[in-house]
Structure 1
Amino acid sequence: MLLSIFDLFKVGIGPSSSHTVGPMVAANRFLIELEERGLLHKVNSVKVGLFGSLAMTGKGHATDVAVMIGLMGEQPDRVDVDKVPEYINGIKGTGHLTLAGKNVIEFHTDTDVLFHIGQSLPKHPNGMHFKASDAAGIILHDNIYYSVGGGFVLSDAEAGQDKTEQEPEPKLPFHFDNGAELIEICENEGKSIAEIVLANELIWQEKEELEDKLWKIWQVMDGSIKRGCIERGELPGGLHIKRRAHELFEELKSSPEASFKDQLTVLDWVNLFAIAVNEENAAGGRVVTAPTNGAAGVIPAVLAYYDRFVPGSSKQGVFDFLATAAAIGMLYKKNASISAAEVGCQGEIGVACSMAAGALCAVMGGTNQQIENAAEIGMEHNLGLTCDPIGGLVQVPCIERNTMGAVKAINAARLALRGDGAHHVSLDSVIETMRQTGLDMQDKYKETSQGGLAVNVVAC
C-alpha cells in the first residue's frame, strides 16, 4: 500500500472522516463513474443505502448530509462549510437535488437516503450502496463503497482485491512496510524518519510544492484552533453541549502570569487547542483528518504546543513534525486500522496520540529509536479504547478524549526523551496488539452507540 503524507492529513469537514468525509468522497466517485459512462444526463433518481456503523450513527455523524452535498458535486476540502445548511434546506424544501451541479433530479431525504439499521455489507462495517435510475426506474449504474477510516474510500471491487491483483505502484526511494524496516532504513542512510518520508514525497511533487502543501495543512489546523476559540453557543445535534473553548481562551488570555504560579498552565493551553479543534469538528467546520476527524484535535494541539511553547520551534520543525507523524500513521494504516468502526477508538485517538508523541519527540531532538519509543508509549496506553459516542454524535466523550490524547502524547515524548531509546516493546508489536484487540472487541464498542457511555447516559 503506497501512502503519502497527504493521505493521512486531508482537509475536510466535520464531524467524521469515516462518516462524513468518506461518504462525500464516495458520492464524488459515483458521479465520476456516471460521467465516464455518459449516464449523468439520463439519471432521474439516486438512492443511497447506508449499512453497519454508517447506519447506526449516521444521523449523528451527518452522513446523510455528506451524501447529499457529495452528490451535488461538492468536495470535502472545497465545500463552503457555512453554506451546507442552505444546501440541505434547499434539497428538503424543493424535493430536488442538482446532481454534479448539472442535472436536476427528484430527491427526498426520507426515502432516498436509507439507514439499514442492523445490516452490514461484507467487507467493512462502513458500507454504502449507490444506485442511479432513469425515468422508467431502470437502474443505470450502481456501486458499493466502503469508508475505511480517515476519509479513505474503497469500491466493492477494490475492497475485494488482494495485493497481487492491484496495479503496480510507483517505486519509492525508501520503501518500508513496518517500523523495523523504517528504523533500519534510517540507520543505513544516516537520516531521520522525517527525512526519509519527505524524500519519498518527492516522487509526487517538487520540494517547494511539498513544503507549500505541508504549510497549508498546518495553517488549516491552526485556523481550526483560532476559529474554535472565537465561536460560542451550543453544538448541533440535540445534546445541548455548550462550547467551552471560547471561555477557556478568554480566561487563559486574561491571566498570562498564571504560568508563573502553576507550571502546568501550559497543559490548559494544550487542552484548549484540542477542544477548539474538536468543537469545530462537531459543528461541521473545517478541520484536517489527523488521521481521522474524531481525533482531529490531538495532532494540532501538540503541534501548537511545539509552535507556541517549545524554544527554537521553526517552519522546518513543522514540516518534520508532520512528516514524522505521517510515517507513524502509515504503519497503523498498513498493518492495523485507523477506523473506529473496525477497531474502536484506539484506532483514532490511540493512533493520533502515537503519531503526535513520535512527532514531538522528533522535533525536540529525539533519535529515531526515541521517536519509535514515544510512538509505542502513545499507543500502549490507549489499547482497548472503545468508541461509544452518546447519541451517535462526535461530542461526548470525543471532544475531551482529544485533550487526553494530546496531553498523553506530550508525556510519552518526554518519557522517551529521558531514555536512551532502548525499549522492551517495539512499535510493530503494539500495532499488532492494537489490531488483535480491535478484532476481539465487541461490535457494540465500535462506533455503533450500542454500548458504553452511549447506553449508560441519557442522550437527551
Structure 2
Amino acid sequence: MAKEQISIFDMFKIGIGPSSSHTLGPWRAAQRFVQVLIDRKLLSSVEQVNILLYGSLAKTGIGHGTDIAVLLGLSGDDPVTFDVHDVLPKVERIKQSNLLVLGAQHQVSFSYAAHLMFLYEQSLPFHPNAVTFQALLNDGTAVSETYYSIGGGFVVQEGDAEGVLSEIDLPFPIDTAQELMVSCMRTGLKISELVLENECSWRSEEETRTGVLKIFQALKDCIYKGCHTDGLLPGGLNVERRASKLNKRMLKDRPYHDFDTWVEAIRSGGKDFGYILDWVSCFALAVNEENASFGRVVTAPTNGAAGVIPAVLQYYIVFHDCYQEDKIIQFIATASEIGSIFKKGATISAAMGGCQAEIGVSSAMAAGALTECLGGSQRQVLMAAEIAMEHHLGLTCDPIGGLVQIPCIERNTMGAIKAITAAQLALQSNPDKAKVSLDAVVSTMWETAQDMNVKYKETADGGLAIKVPLSLPEC
C-alpha cells in the first residue's frame, strides 16, 4: 500500500472561501468530473448534469458555499485565479438563465432547484463529505462519479490515491513525530531543513522557494485586504466585520500606503502586551472575515482555520522584526510538516473530527513553526505543537446557520493566541520532562474524533447551531 506523501503545497493551497472541505474540495471535484468527460471525449454529448450532495456537504452546503463551488467548478473556473468579485454574480447568472457551460465549452440546460440535490438524510460510509456528479448523454447512457472532500481541499475517490503526491523515494519519509525526531537527531537538521530536502524530490529548490513565497504573498494580500474592508458578512447572520475598525483604532492615524509601510506603522506602536494581543486577534479576524466573504485565502491547513497561521506568522514578522524571506520559508515549511503528521495520523476534516481537526491542527502547526523560528530545538518544536493541540482536544464544530462565521471566526483568534502561548511554554521548558508526546496527542485526537457525536461534526445539528434563534433566508 502506497504511503501518503504530503508536500508543503498540499497543506497550503490558494483558493476561495469559506471552506476548504465544503468549497475548495467540491470545486476541485467538479473540475475533475469535467476532465473525466473531456478525457473520454464525452463532453459534447452531455445533455443534463445532476449534482448530489450527501451528509455534511448537504447539511451545511448552502452556508459553506458548496452549491456555488460545484457550479463554478463545472463551469471550468479555477479557485486560484477566478475573480472573487464575480463569484456570486456568476452563480446568479447560472440560476437566472438555467444554463450551465461545462468546462467553458459545452452549454446544457440546468435547473438549480431540480438538478442540484441536497440529500440531508443520506451519508456515504467512506466520508461524510461526498458528492456525486451524473452526466446524462444524448445516447441514453450516463456517466457517474463520486468524490470525497476529506479536508484541507484534498479530494479522493474511494479506493484511489489521487489528492496526494505519487509515491517516490523521499530522503526522509515521515509519518509520525517519532520518525521526524529520529531523522532530525540522525542528521542534525532542523525540521524546516528536513522538509525542504524532501521537497527537492519533487522540484528544484528555487521552484519550492518561489512557490512558498507565492503562498506568503496570498497570505499577505488576505490579511491586508481584511484589515481594510468594512461591512456585513454575507449569509444572513448580519455579522459585522471587525478587523478594519480595530486596525484603524490601533494605528491612531499613523500613515502608511502598502503592506510594508503598514508593518512599520504597527511596529511603531510599541510592544505593550494588550497592544500585541489586539493585533494578533485583528490579523486572525481579517483573514477569516475574508474567508467568510468568498475572498481568496490559503488553506492553513483548512479554510475554516485559515486565520491562525497567518496571524502567528504576522505576529512574528511585526513584533520580532523578522520580515525576512528565509525566516518566512522556515515558518511555513515547519508548519506544513506538523500539519502532515496530523493528517496522516488523524484528520484535518471537521466533518470527521470536529473543530479540533481544524483550529486545533492549525494552532499546533503555528506553535511548532513559531518555536523553530524563535530558536527552539526540534524537540521543543514538537512539544509546542503537542501543547497547542492538547488544549483543543474535543473542540466541536457547530456553525450557526451552517455558516463559517460563528463561532468559527473568533475561534481563529483563540487558536492563534494558544499557539503563541504554546510556543512560549515550550521555549521555557525542558522537553525531557514532558509527559505527553505529539504522537500521543495525535492518536488521542483521532480517538476523540471517532467518539464524538456526529451532530458536533460540521452538521449544524448540535451545540451553538441549535441554541441561537435565527431567521435566515433559504438560499
TM-score, normalising length: structure 1: 0.96
Which residue pairs with 2:258 in the alignment? none
Alpha-carbon contact 1:367-1:421 (below 8 Å) kept: no
Among candidates 146, 149, 166, match of residue 147 of structure 1: 149
Tell whether the 8 Å contact from 2:399 to 2:406 is kept in structure 1 after alignment.
yes
Counterpart amino acid of 1:111? A
Q: Does 2:272 match 1:274?
A: no
Output the CA distance in 2 between the equivalents of 1:414 and 1:376.
Answer: 13
Shift of 1:156: 3.0
Amino acid corresponding to residue 92 of structure 2 in structure 1: N
Deviation at 1:157, TM superposition (A): 3.5
**Which of 316, 319, 333 lines up with 2:329 in the alignment?**
319
Match of 2:361 among 342, 347, 351: 351
Aligned length: 454
- Corresponding residue to 1:213 among 211, 214, 225: 211
Q: CA deviation at 1:258?
A: 10
* Separation in 1, partners of 2:373, 2:332: 10
Q: Distance in 1 between matches of 2:301 and 2:324?
A: 23
C-alpha contact 1:39 1:140 (8 A) present in aligned 2: no
Out of 248-257 and 352-361, give the one that drifted further.
Answer: 248-257
- 1:369 partnered with 2:379: yes
Shift of 1:313: 4.6
How far did 1:139 drift? 3.8
In 2, Cα distance between the equivalents of 1:196 and 1:78? 31
Alignment deviations for residues 315-359 of structure 1 (CA, whole Å, 9 cap, x no partner): 111001001000000001101000000000000000000000000
Q: What is the match of residue 444 of structure 2?
A: 433
Partners in 2 of 1:252 and 1:273 — Cα distance? 12
Which residue identity is paired with 2:66? T
Shift in CA distance, 433/83, structure 1 to aligned 2, threshold 3 Å: same
Kindly provide the amino acid, as one letter, of the partner of residue 290 in structure 2.
E
Q: Which deviates further from its counterpart, 249-258 or 262-271?
A: 249-258
SS at match of 1:170: coil
**Deviation of residue 314 (structure 1)?**
2.0
- Indicate whether 1:36 and 2:35 are aligned: no
Cα distance in 2 between the residues matched to 1:122 and 1:354: 29
The match for 1:93 is 96
Query: What's the counterpart of residue 408 of structure 1?
Result: 418
Q: Is the Cα contact below 8 Å between 2:354 and 2:458 reproduced in 1?
A: yes
Distance 1:11 1:257, change over 3 A: closer
User: In terms of mean alpha carbon deviation, does 304-313 or 317-326 score higher?
Assistant: 304-313
AA aligned to 1:370 is Q
Q: Which residue of 2 aligns with 1:134?
A: 137
Cα distance change of structure 1 residues 206 and 420 upon mapping to structure 2, 3 Å threshold: same
Offset at 1:264?
2.3
Aligned-residue RMSD, C-alpha: 1.7
Distance 1:258 1:312, change over 3 A: closer
- Distance in 1, matches of 2:123 and 2:343, equals 22
Aligned to 1:118: 121
Deviation at 1:93, TM superposition (A): 1.4
The residue number in structure 2 matching 1:285 is 295
Partners of 2:267 and 2:26 lie apart in 1 by 46
Are residue 342 (structure 1) and residue 352 (structure 2) matched? yes
Partner residue, 1:16: 19
Q: CA deviation at 1:135?
A: 3.7
- Counterpart CA distance in 1 for 2:165 and 2:148 is 19
Give the whole-Å Cα distance in 2 for the aligned partners of 1:401 and 1:168: 34
- Write the distance in 1 (CA, Å) between the matches of 2:150 and 2:273: 41
Instruction: Kindly provide the CA deviation profile for residues 24-75 of structure 1, in whole angstroms up to 9, marking residues without a partner as x.
Output: 0000100111111110010011101000000000010010000000000112
1:420 CA displacement: 2.4
CA 1:260–1:101: 2 relative to 1, 3 Å: closer
Q: What residue in structure 2 maps to residue 418 of structure 1?
A: 428
Q: State how 1:166-205 maps to structure 2 within 5 Å.
A: 169-205=167-203
Q: Distance in 2 between matches of 1:183 and 1:390?
A: 40
* Structure 2 Cα separation of the partners of residues 261 and 179 of structure 1: 34
1:260 deviates by 5.6
Q: SS state of the match for residue 15, structure 1?
A: coil
> Aligned equivalents of 1:239 and 1:337: distance in 2?
29
For 2:402, the aligned partner's letter is G
Range with greater deviation from structure 2 (208-217 or 252-261): 252-261
CA distance in 2, matches of 1:448, 1:2: 30
1:264 pairs with 2:274? yes
Q: Residue in 1 aligned with 2:457?
A: 446
Structure 1 counterpart SS, 2:160: helix
* 8 Å CA contact retained: 2:57, 2:129: yes
**CA–CA distance in structure 2, aligned partners of residues 367 and 260 of structure 1:** 29
TM-score scaled by structure 2? 0.93
The 8 Å contact of residues 5 and 165 in structure 2, kept in 1 or not, is answered as: no
1:55 match: 58
Do the aligned partners of residues 111 and 346 (structure 1) sit closer, same or farther apart at CA in structure 2, a change above 3 Å counting? same
Q: Report the alpha carbon displacement of residue 452 of structure 1 after superposing the two structures with TM.
A: 0.4
Corresponding residue to 1:223 among 221, 241, 244? 221
- Matched residue of 1:50: which SS? strand
SS at match of 1:311: coil
Residue 82 of structure 1 aligns with an amino acid whose one-letter code is H
Identity %, equivalent residues? 50
C-alpha separation in 2, matches of 1:19 and 1:441: 20
> How far apart, CA to CA, are the structure 2 residues paired with 1:46 and 1:158?
24
The letter of the residue matching 1:435 is: W
Structure 1 counterpart of 2:179, one-letter code: E
In the alignment, the residues of structure 1 paired with residue 65 and residue 419 of structure 2 have an alpha-carbon distance, to the nearest angstrom, of 29
SS at the partner of 1:249? helix
Cα distance in 2 for partners of 1:258, 1:194 equals: 31
Task: State the alpha-carbon separation in 1 of the partners of residues 283 and 130 from structure 2.
Answer: 33
Structure 1 residue aligned with 2:261? none
Partner of 1:109: 112
Report the CA distance shift for 1:386/1:208 in structure 2 as closer, same or farther (over 3 A): same
2:267–2:319 Cα contact (<8 Å) kept: no
Match of 1:310 among 304, 320, 340: 320
User: What SS does structure 1 have at the residue aligned with 2:431?
Assistant: coil
Amino acid at match of 1:426: S
Q: Note the residue ranges of structure 2 that are not aligned, 5 or more in a row.
A: 254-265
Q: Deviations over 1:158-212 (max 9, x none)?
A: 27x9xxxx99711101111100000100010010000000110011111111111
* Counterpart residue number, 1:158: 160
Mapped contact 1:97–1:106 kept (Cα < 8 A): yes
Residue in structure 2 matched with residue 3 of structure 1 by the alignment = 6
